[in-house]
Structures are given as structure tokens and as C-alpha cells.
Amino acid sequence: MRPFVFYTIKRDFGETEVLLSNLQQKIIREKPALKKHLEVSCLIILFEMTLIAAAKYLCKINYPNPTRLINHKIE
């Protein structure tokens, strides 16, 4: 199960990166002065997406069944 989950995270991260890249290029064409600011902003967003994906990955490994997680918290 782990390789499949990891692949999903990589795929989602890649799609996010492509969307940000397209948006960045569009804004740079319209407002060239924002180029440096956009590069930093996109890196921060990608880093946050990586952290979210890692958290989801760890939850799937430790608690593959959400019901088990809820029961564990209640007990």
C-alpha cells in the first residue's frame, strides 16, 4: 500500500506545481515587475503542499481506517 500512497502524493504535488507554474507565467507576462515576488510565493506554497501531503501520507500509514482513528481517540 505504501508505494501507491506515495505515488499519489507525488502525482498530486506534480499537478499542483504545473498549475502554479502556468499561473506564474501568466502573471509575469502581464506584470513583469512581480517576477521575483512570485517565485518566492510559489516556493512557499509548494513547501506547504509538501507538508500537507506528508501529513496525509503518515495518517494513511498509521491509521488506514478512519473509524479506527475515531475509536482510538474516544478510548
The answer to whether 69 and 63 are in contact (CB under 8 A) is: yes
Question: What mean pLDDT comes out for the span 9-33?
Answer: 66
The runs of H, that is alpha helices, within 1-75 are 2-30, 35-62, 66-74
Contact 5, 57 (CB under 8 A): yes
Q: Encode pLDDT of 5-18 as tens digits.
A: 444 455 555 555 56
Domain ranges in the chain are: 2-74
Query: Considering the entire predicted model, what is its pTM?
Result: 0.35
Quick one: which of 39, 41, 55, 52 has its CA closest to 13? 52
| SS3 assignment, position 64 | coil
Instruction: Tell the residue number behind the cell numbers 499537478, with chain if given.
Output: 15
